[in-house]
Amino acid sequence: MSGVELWSIADITRRIAAGEVTAAKILTDTIARITERDGELGAYLATDFEGAQTAAALVDAMRSANLPLGPLAGVPIALKDMIVTKGVVTTAGSKILDGWSPPYNATVVERLRAAGAVIVGKVNCDEFGMGSSTENSAYKKTRNPWDATRVPGGSSGGSSAAVAAGLCTASLGTDTGGSIRQPAAFCGVVGLKPTYGRVSRWGIVAFASSLDQVGPIARSVADAALVLQAISGHDPLDSTSLAQPVPQFSESIAAGVTGLKVGLPKEYFAGEIDPEIRAALDNTVAALKEKGAEIIEVSLPHTELALPAYYIVAPAEASSNLARYDGIRYGTRADASDLLDLYCKTRGAGFGPEVKRRIMLGTYALRSGYYDAYYKKAQQIRALIKRDFDAAFETVDVLLTPTTPAPAFAFESKATPLDMYLGDIFTLACNLAGLPGMSVPCGLTKNRLPIGAQLLGKPLDEATLIRTGAVIESALAIGAPP
């Protein structure tokens, strides 16, 4: 990779402001990298180079006129294809939305553009965010930049792969049960899922509305903090958006971890974990101790119930959310002379097998006579999981766990859907409790596959994740893929 592609956000914005480089040059370099690598990698579903060039030209014109530049001025950013973008095809990785060009921008898109970011395109994902490998995309596979025979994770696999390979400086993903953190761990980058409500969900293609959250994926904790800063804040268009002040996240990086109480939930270390991941977490604990953190074992007793509770709540909400995709109102199927026939033929037919599976599960759980036994019970378990976290945070400031039980796996290596679901065992509870979570690279396996350490924080305390993650990053940096 060339120097420009590896520059941090702070480097890019500083150099543009100083006149050392233009936003147009940085974009040209990024486009060249996409052209060179993406045919092999398969990260992008759609590019908007013309729109990006217009945005870069505006940044350069503002700099020439000595006008104030935004905090992300000239920074190339990719968007997961769950994020609605005006005039750019947005499919959520599904054929049922094939060709749909939205007439408006999601709030996070507007905020990125207001900050001066240059949006280069839309990146691949599991269909409607349902998956852990990006193998469920209706369009193509995305490959892991560290090993092209392995998955990049999911559902934000395109977002993580693009960042790791230098096809953008940062990206946005969405996280319903780990879909930012797990692919970030597999691709050796930083993925930050904010507190539920910290970032607007308006204009996000919904999977499970009480769990979904947008967040940044970047090559460093500092970059993730800057992107989070730009997209956070109350949005009156989103009824779940929190009217809370947004701190200067970057300022927390220098705080270090001296005196910080880091909890190790014993339930997260008791199951089957790849020995190399366990060793990497031991190194992470040692690094935090060396920098002055206090390590405390804690218990989250209802952890084992997170997986079954999630796979009731999420499919139930998905069943409701996906009912709107009837083959008439979205996509390019619009023959008004035969709408009834279209409705009958396309309802459900445009969905892939994983989406159909979850719709059926969710519809079953919501049926009359089953609601109390399944959905209501799952919500009660969700409350217990939240209570476990509240109790733990009375003792510690942040929790440290593995992000995944194993490194990136080979394509088509998971025999059953349950095998795939079990890979999310460490990330689901965070969403059920609405907490912030971050995955930070903390090592490599002997086969040079990235390993991620997960940090879980108190509500609205992303700053503590950032300061802790920065220490881990500094001590255990793994570099870029080959």
Give per-residue pLDDT as tens, 288-335: 999 999 999 999 999 999 999 999 999 999 998 988 776 555 555 444
Is the model's pLDDT at 370 over the cut of 90? no
Question: Mean pLDDT over all residues of the chain?
Answer: 93
| Sheet strands side by side (includes 118-123) | 44-47, 118-123, 76-80, 170-175, 213-218, 190-193, 437-444, 450-457, 398-402, 261-265, 294-298
Percent of the chain surpassing pLDDT 90? 88
Q: What are phi and psi of 359, to 5 degrees?
A: -60, -45
Q: Name residue 322's amino acid.
A: L
Q: What is the pLDDT of residues 117-168, one digit of tens each?
A: 999 999 999 999 999 999 999 999 999 999 999 999 999 999 999 999 999 9
Considering the entire predicted model, what is its pTM?
0.94
Q: Are strands 398-402 and 294-298 parallel, antiparallel or unpaired?
A: unpaired
Reference 211, options 249, 180, 244, 232; nearest CA is: 180
- Which residues are catalytically annotated? 80, 155, 179
CATH topology of domain 3-255: Amidase signature (AS) enzymes (3.90.1300)
Tell me the pLDDT tens digit for each residue of 6-43. 899 999 999 999 999 999 999 999 999 999 999 999 99
Q: Per-residue pLDDT averaged across 409-427, rounded? A: 94
pLDDT value, residue 350:
77
Closest CA to 365 of 351, 376, 357: 376
Average pLDDT rounded to a whole number, residues 260-273: 95
The answer to whether residue 342 scores a pLDDT higher than 50 is no
How far apart are alpha carbons 80 and 103 in whole angstroms? 17
